[in-house]
Amino acid sequence: MKRIGIFAKRHHQDAIKLAGDVMTWLNERDVEVFVDEPLAVDMGDVKGYPGRSIPALVDLVIVLGGDGTLLSVARLVGELRTPILGVNLGSLGFLTEITRDELFPVLEQIVKGDFSVSERMRLDVFVRREGDLLGRYRVLNDIVINKGALARIIDMEACVDDDYLTTFKADGLIIATPTGTTAYNLAAGGPIIYPGLHCLVISPICPHTLTNRPIIVSDEAMIKVKVKFKDEDVALTADGQEGMPLKGGDIVEVRKSRYATLLVKSPSKDYFEVLRTKLRWGER
């Protein structure tokens, strides 16, 4: 491990200081460090590199912050298989599972090449209007079709592999990977799915029909959702960070991407321990 990139949450003082400590630590071990340009500005007298260029230049990327920061870096990694080490500096993080106290012992092992990764599925999402491709996204967590605050319930006609599923009448719809089931899907009453399982979950948001419940389908399925409404404020959001407004008749297509995201696993705890810690299972 000779080259490592560092990204961090913007204007987060703890992240900026920790980035400096990590950079010094790595340099002392003859590891070349590539700092994201915005972070380099926050750090001061440090050379920065364009974020999009870093994943191709390094053997590993370190993300200091929370799950939102990691999701944005995962988009920069794109089709590369550069592993991401997520360090949680916030109050809750399922993707950034390494704590600040664990960071340097974990880095010691990583520099020696002694680490393992979890391969996380991503989704390719296409938005079509009257046959034209208007938007394309690649997501790690989920895509959400959601109405604005003043919009009425929207109809969303869903098909799986061209087989009609149902027309959801709801405030919105979530299509999530197993990784994304601990995000908006969980808040909407959807199930938690173990990351290694090969499936997707479709979860309606506040469905008008109470029998419309979340449904799990194969990750080989092609999911198509046709939105039906007039003069309503409806949007598609990808990983909570990108998106576009939708019009009645638009079709959203979702399928598994060929490209996965590699997350460095904690050597001291497994996925279920992360769940117990984050969700406080078993506490009275």
Q: Indicate which residues carry an active-site annotation.
A: 67
Residue in 121, 116, 117 with CA at minimum distance from that of residue 195? 121
C-alpha torsion angle, residues 4, 69, 141, 108 (rounded to 10): 30
Interatomic CA distance for residues 244 and 145, integer angstroms: 10
Residue 125 three-state SS: strand
The Cα angle at residue 89 between residues 84 and 90, in degrees rounded to 5: 115
85 forms bridges with which residues in the sheet? 62
**Contact in structure between 78 and 261 (CB atoms under 8 Å):** no
Residues in the chain: 284
| CA–CA dist 121, 181 (Å, integer) | 12
Instruction: Take residue 93 and report the two structure tokens written for it.
Output: 């993080």
